[in-house]
Structure 1
Amino acid sequence: MTMAAVTQQMSSLPSGLRICTTAPDILYLPELVFGGLVWILVASTYVTPINPQGWVMFVSVFCFVMTFLWLIIFAFGAHKNSSAWATADFIYHLIAVTFYLSASVILANVTIGWESFTSVQLVFKYYQIDIAAVVFSFIATLLYFIHCILSAARWKSF
């Protein structure tokens, strides 16, 4: 693929099945998968009143729903290939990166805090679930970060 083809591809917003073949839009599906895994794992763990996992749940649900809506908008071509949508795409992914990074750090801190509990069997089960949620949360953060960088490049090329 020539540099001109890549530049032309980055300067237009895809619609239909092209979202499954163009960067950064190909990242929608992994973002949904890893965000959904974070949502499921955090929902299945033990939550105490002093535990800040409510923010983690908000971030994972918010980003999952918004990414799904964004995917639908792009898939059905409702964006009309305008620069305003490219700007909105960049801004949304910047917000998602910020939210997910904060949620990932909070979730990692909560997971480290499991050491203070005395019930070993109960703690080990929830500790394993939280470790998986932390890993998937940081993967989701990385995916949103890459999407944000590529969206910024596309926005600048408009």
Structure 2
Amino acid sequence: MSSATSTTSLPSGLHVLTTFPDVLFIPEIIFGGLVWILVASSKVPYPILQGWVMFVSVSCFVMSTTLLCLYICGAHGGSSSWVTLDVICQETAALFYLSAAVLEAYFTYSISSLSTDILIVYRENISAVVFAFLATLVYVVHKVFSLRRWKSS
């Protein structure tokens, strides 16, 4: 059995990029950025639906980038409250991204019955749906392993 101290504390410096749950910040940022770009570049016939998707993708992108930078800088100082903060952030992001992915899928399904003039928008939104569900999956996996780290701390 490995030592309990290696799994209960948050890494700092470039070790963040080598530990499993924390290395997931990179795909979270990439997939979230792609959702943000794809939704921002498409036409918006239903602003309330895509407004929520934009809010989620931008806020989760900023949150993940900020946490990654803070962990690399070592701002947490080994405090256990940061482990709790990590769990709360990952749970919130997973829930928000799940709702955003479902809304984007609904929006994409609703525009599929429109004319062929909207085919490019439809393709962009299909890509946004795929990346939103991938971001949701990555956030859920990160959440599960953050919960395991929090429970063992």
TM-score by length of 2: 0.96
CA RMSD of aligned residues (A): 1.1
**1:134 corresponds to which of 129, 132, 146:** 129
Cα deviation, residue 11, structure 1: 1.0
Matches within 5 A, 1:52-131: 52-118=49-115, 120=116, 122-131=117-126
Give the ranges of 4+ consecutive aligned residues of structure 1 lying more than 3 Å apart after TM superposition: none
Unaligned runs of 5+ in 1: none
Matching of residue 143 in structure 1 with residue 114 in structure 2: no
Q: Distance in 2 between matches of 1:87 and 1:98?
A: 17
Identity %: 50
Structure 2: how far apart are the matches of 1:145 and 1:132?
20
Encode CA deviations 1:122-158: one digit per residue, 9 max, x unaligned.
Answer: 3110111000000000000000000000000111111
- CA separation of 1:33 and 1:50: change in aligned 2, threshold 3 A: closer
**Paired residues of 1:20 and 1:26 also in contact (CA < 8 A):** yes
- Structure 1 residue identity aligned to 2:149: R
How far apart are the structure 2 equivalents of 1:51 and 1:10? 41
Q: 1:149 to 1:141 in 2, by over 3 A?
A: same
Figure out how many residues of one structure are paired with residues of the other and give that number: 153
TM-score, normalised to structure 1's length?
0.93
Q: Which residue of 1 aligns with 2:9?
A: 12
CA distance in 2, matches of 1:75, 1:105: 33
Secondary structure at the aligned position of 1:4 is classed as coil
Instruction: Give the secondary structure class of the aligned counterpart of 1:24.
Output: helix
Displacement of 1:49: 4.5
2:152 pairs with 1:157: yes
